[in-house]
């Protein structure tokens, strides 16, 4: 049975690359009816952030990434599993004590290698280049290296999937598997997600946190669909996947070798798509956190124009807040007031032309007076929702 794990350190937010790792690990297990395990790697107590674990779990749930088993390393550390494992290596002469810590011993002049099932290549190291890494710190807590190997073994992890930044740690783990006499799991590293400006995606250059994308009103379906295609591709050119569809289609052969670039336009496109396939009532509920006054009748007017949910504020805020008076041609407004009934029936075009005005100019004046912006939902429908009194009040201002 395939057993995979997602093993984040709770640092306060989930990186878009972390979500991708979790989705791949989930799909790899679930594709064949295996198990997906969430393991919180929080043994670095200095980096621990209060509430970070609960936040992370909440975010994973939003994406439907449900785990079958759940472990917390700091709790496991209380049972001394890691300490005993480190001591066992000291006894076997494969690790040594050093200033209160326990360090790995590395053999001289050997070669160590593994085949990466995601990158599809064999990577090898000379053991002389492997650092004598700390396994157990003087505070008795394990380092990542020790905890990851002990846990992946005890939790029967068959496939390890993680970010490429962990490749340099892998030879340390390979030695540990060997020293403990554990079977080495299949190991796969994922490509780096690149920033469009070049280099690895980083917080300094722009938004990389899943929580932030959610706050802006990107839908979980869109974010997930977007990230799974950053570094993985199906044999056909299919682009739209729900989580379940992705699980069905998933095949590690689809991992791409080149580093994908985060293309924000593509994410916008996915989000627009998932917004538009929502029912009006669903969308109403989704927009409420951004614009609490929103009503169902407004939804059809803005649905096709939204890229993110937060944009509902700009597009539909004028229904609830009178715009600042704008500088527009007063003759246009006067004419609109005098001919209101014809106007909302859409029968005023000829009369506007007969005034010697351009129809576009006339409606732009109205649009600005009523909505306070040049980009708005359809004007006549908006006027109907606002009602005659409110519409005229705005035109008269
Ligand atoms: N705790 C590591 C991280 O935060 C996990 C690395 C691994 O999956 O082995 O990314």
pLDDT at 49: 77
Q: To test ligand 1's pocket by mutation, which of 114, 144, 174 has the most ligand atoms within 8 angstroms of CB?
A: 144
Q: How many whole angstroms from 41 Cα to the centroid of ligand 1?
A: 7
Residue 50 labelled as part of a binding site: no
Q: What is the predicted pLDDT for the residue at 48?
A: 66
- CATH superfamily ID and name for 3-74+192-267: HUPs (3.40.50.620)
- Kindly state if the Cβ of 143 falls inside 6 Å of ligand 1: no
In the CATH scheme, what is the homologous superfamily, with its name and number, of domain 79-190? HUPs (3.40.50.620)
CATH 3.40.50.620-classified regions of the chain: 3-74+192-267, 79-190
Residue 326: how many other CB atoms lie within 10 Å: 17
Query: Strand 111-116 relative to strand 101-104: parallel, antiparallel, unpaired?
Result: unpaired
Q: Give the distance (Å) from ligand 1 centre to CA of residue 74.
A: 15
Residues forming the active site: 203
Annotate the chain with three-state secondary structure: CCEEEECCCCCCCCEHHHHHHHHHHHHHHHHCCCEEEEEECCCCHHHCCCCHHHHHHHHHHHCCCCCCEEEEHHHHHCCCHHHHHHHHHHHCCCEEEECCEEEECCCCCCEEEEEECCCCEEEEEEHHHCCCCEEECCCCCECHHHHHHHHHHHCCCCEEEEEHHHHHHHHHHHHHHHHHCCCCCEEEEECCCECCCCCECCCCCCCCEHHHHHHCCCCHHHHHHHHHCCCECCCCCCCCCCHHHHHHHCCHHHECCCCCECCHHHHHHHHHHHHHCCCHHHHHHHHCCCCCCCCHHHHHHHHHHCCCCCHHHHHHHHHCCCCCCCCCCHHHHHHHHHCHHHHHCCCCHHHHHHCCCCHHHHHHHHHHHHHCCCCCCCHHHHHHHHCHHHHHHHHHC
pLDDT in tens for each of the 397 residues of the chain?
999 999 999 888 999 999 999 999 999 999 999 999 999 999 886 666 788 899 999 999 999 999 999 999 999 999 999 999 999 999 999 999 999 999 999 999 999 999 999 999 999 999 999 999 999 999 999 999 999 999 999 999 999 999 999 999 999 999 999 999 999 999 999 999 999 888 888 777 777 899 999 999 999 999 999 999 999 999 999 999 999 999 999 999 999 999 999 999 999 999 999 999 999 999 999 999 999 999 999 999 999 999 999 999 999 999 999 999 889 999 999 999 999 999 999 999 999 999 999 999 999 999 999 999 999 999 999 999 999 999 999 998 6
The best mutation among 3, 4, 8, 71 to test binding of ligand 1, ranked by most ligand atoms within 8 Å of the C-beta, falls on 8
> Is the C-beta atom of 21 inside 6 A of ligand 1?
no
How many other C-beta atoms lie within 10 A of the C-beta of residue 141? 18
Q: Is 42 near ligand 1, meaning CB less than 6 Å away?
A: no
Question: Does 41 contact ligand 1 (Cβ within 6 A)?
Answer: yes
Note the pLDDT of residue 206: 73
pTM: 0.94
């Amino acid at each position: 049975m395939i057993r995979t794990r997602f093993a984040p350190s709770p640092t306060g937010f989930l990186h878009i690359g972390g979500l991708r790792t979790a989705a791949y690990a989930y799909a790899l297990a679930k594709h064949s009816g295996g198990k997906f395990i969430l393991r919180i790697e929080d043994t670095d107590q200095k980096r621990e952030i209060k509430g970070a674990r609960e936040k992370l779990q909440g975010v994973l749930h939003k994406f439907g990434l449900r785990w079958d088993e759940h472990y917390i390393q700091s709790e496991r550390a209380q049972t001394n599993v890691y300490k005993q494992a480190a001591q066992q290596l000291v006894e076997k002469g494969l690790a040594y004590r050093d200033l209160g810590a326990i360090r790995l011993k590395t053999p001289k002049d050997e070669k160590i290698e593994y085949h990466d099932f995601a990158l599809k290549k064999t990577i090898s190291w000379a053991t002389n280049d492997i650092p004598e890494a700390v396994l157990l710190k003087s505070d008795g807590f394990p380092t990542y290296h020790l905890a990851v190997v002990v846990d992946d073994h005890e939790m029967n992890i068959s496939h390890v999937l993680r970010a490429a930044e962990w490749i340099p740690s892998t030879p340390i783990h390979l030695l540990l598997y060997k020293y403990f006499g554990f079977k080495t799991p299949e190991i796969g590293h994922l490509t780096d997600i690149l920033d469009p400006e070049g280099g690895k995606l980083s917080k300094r250059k722009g938004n990389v946190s899943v929580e932030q994308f959610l706050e802006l009103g990107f839908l979980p379906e869109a974010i997930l669909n977007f990230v799974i295609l950053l570094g993985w591709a199906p044999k056909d050119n299919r682009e739209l996947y729900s989580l379940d569809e992705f699980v069905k289609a998933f095949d590690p052969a689809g991992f791409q070798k080149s580093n994908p670039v985060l293309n924000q336009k593509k994410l916008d496109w996915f989000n627009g798509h998932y917004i538009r396939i929502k029912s009006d009532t669903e969308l109403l509920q989704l927009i409420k956190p951004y614009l609490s006054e929103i009503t169902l009748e407004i939804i059809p007017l803005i649905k096709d124009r939204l890229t993110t949910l937060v944009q509902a504020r700009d597009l539909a805020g004028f229904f609830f807040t009178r715009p600042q008076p704008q500088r527009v041609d007063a003759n246009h407004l006067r004419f609109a007031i005098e001919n209101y009934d014809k106007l909302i029936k859409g029968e005023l075009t000829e009369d506007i032309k007969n005034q010697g005005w351009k129809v576009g100019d006339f409606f732009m004046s109205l649009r600005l007076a009523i909505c306070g912006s040049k980009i708005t939902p359809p004007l006549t429908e908006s006027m109907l929702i606002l009602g005659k009194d409110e519409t005229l009040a705005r035109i008269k201002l």
